[in-house]
């Protein structure tokens, strides 16, 4: 074979007449071809998604890594590493690399950093104030205790929408349970349950009996018709 006009001999090839000079010497130089190897991209998270095909590289030739297309809900991609736990060599997304291995293949593992959120609390027509609460995906603490009040109502947990049509969360929900919130800085709205109370009827020196009547706060309801009597007196109200 020939490379750049120079004769190249295969390994173990039988040769003769390398030089025409009697008792002369000819030097043969080793010819090297760079190895090729493949880079395997690993998403490194059970619930992450996406596909990146293996990438072919040539030894001693710099080449950019395939752009990352893996996604992991609640986490941001922070680069590649040669070890799953990030203890190996780090490479940025689309980094120009060379000589990652001499032959065969090498696996790069996606590295993920937990997204941080600023959780806002809305009294939802209540009164009072609450500071925002910062947390990161995977945090296991609890949501701050409710400090809102609404006269005539009892606090009944949180919802992602003011009208209660969103996702419900208990008053002491764990922060980890909020990882499925999609808003960058989510808001939880207080849910309120109207209190019930009882109206007791007193004959006020009259005769007869009347059953107590239950009411719900903020809900109009007619009083039970009077059934008390007091001699010839007329009931006024």
Pick from 92, 94, 103, 109: which is nearest to 58 by CA?
103
State the Cα angle at 153 between 200 and 150, rounded to 5°: 130
Q: Look at residue 21 and tell me whether its pLDDT is greater than 80.
A: no
Say if CB 228 and CB 207 are below 8 A apart: yes
State the Cα angle at 61 between 3 and 83, rounded to 5°: 140
pLDDT tier for residue 5 given thresholds of 50, 70 and 90:
low
Q: What share of the chain is helix, strand, coil (3-state, %, to 5)?
A: 0, 35, 65
User: What is the Cα 85 distance to its own chain's centre?
Assistant: 19
Say if CB 65 and CB 55 are below 8 A apart: yes
Residue-wise pLDDT for 104-117, tens only, equals 999 999 999 999 99
Beta-strand ranges (E) seen in the chain are 2-3, 6-7, 36-42, 55-58, 63-64, 75-81, 90-91, 96-97, 104-114, 116-122, 133-136, 153-159, 168-169, 187-194, 196-199, 213-216
Considering the entire predicted model, what is its pTM? 0.68
Which residues, in sequence order, are CB contacts of 199 under 8 Å at separation 6+?
A: 212, 213, 214, 215, 223
Q: Look at residue 144 and tell me whether its pLDDT is greater than 90.
A: yes
Residue-wise pLDDT for 170-214, tens only, equals 999 999 888 877 777 899 999 999 999 999 999 999 999 999 999
Region 37-57: what's the mean pLDDT?
96
- Strand-pairing partners, residue 90, are 81
């Amino acid at each position: 074979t020939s490379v750049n006009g120079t004769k190249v001999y295969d390994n173990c090839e039988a040769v003769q007449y390398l030089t025409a000079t009697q008792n002369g010497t000819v030097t043969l130089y080793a010819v090297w071809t760079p190895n090729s190897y493949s880079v395997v991209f690993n998403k490194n998270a059970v619930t992450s998604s996406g596909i990146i095909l293996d990438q072919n590289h040539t030894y001693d030739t710099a080449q950019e890594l395939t752009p990352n297309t893996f996604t992991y809900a609640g986490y941001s991609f922070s680069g590649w590493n040669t070890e799953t736990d990030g203890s190996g060599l780090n490479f940025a997304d689309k980094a120009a690399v060379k000589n990652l291995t001499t032959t065969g293949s090498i696996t790069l593992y996606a590295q993920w950093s937990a997204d941080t959120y600023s959780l806002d609390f809305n009294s939802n027509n209540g009164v009072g104030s609450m500071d925002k609460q910062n947390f990161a995906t995977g945090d296991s603490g609890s949501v701050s205790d409710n400090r809102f009040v609404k006269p005539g109502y009892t606090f009944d947990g949180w919802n992602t929408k003011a009208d209660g049509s969103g996702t419900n969360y208990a008053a002491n929900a764990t922060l980890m349970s909020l990882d499925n919130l999609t808003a960058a800085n989510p808001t939880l709205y207080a849910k309120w349950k109207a209190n019930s109370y009882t109206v007791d009827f007193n004959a006020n020196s009259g005769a007869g009996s009347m059953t107590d009547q239950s009411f719900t706060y903020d809900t109009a309801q007619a009083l039970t018709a009077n059934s008390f009597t007091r001699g010839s007196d007329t009931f006024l109200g």
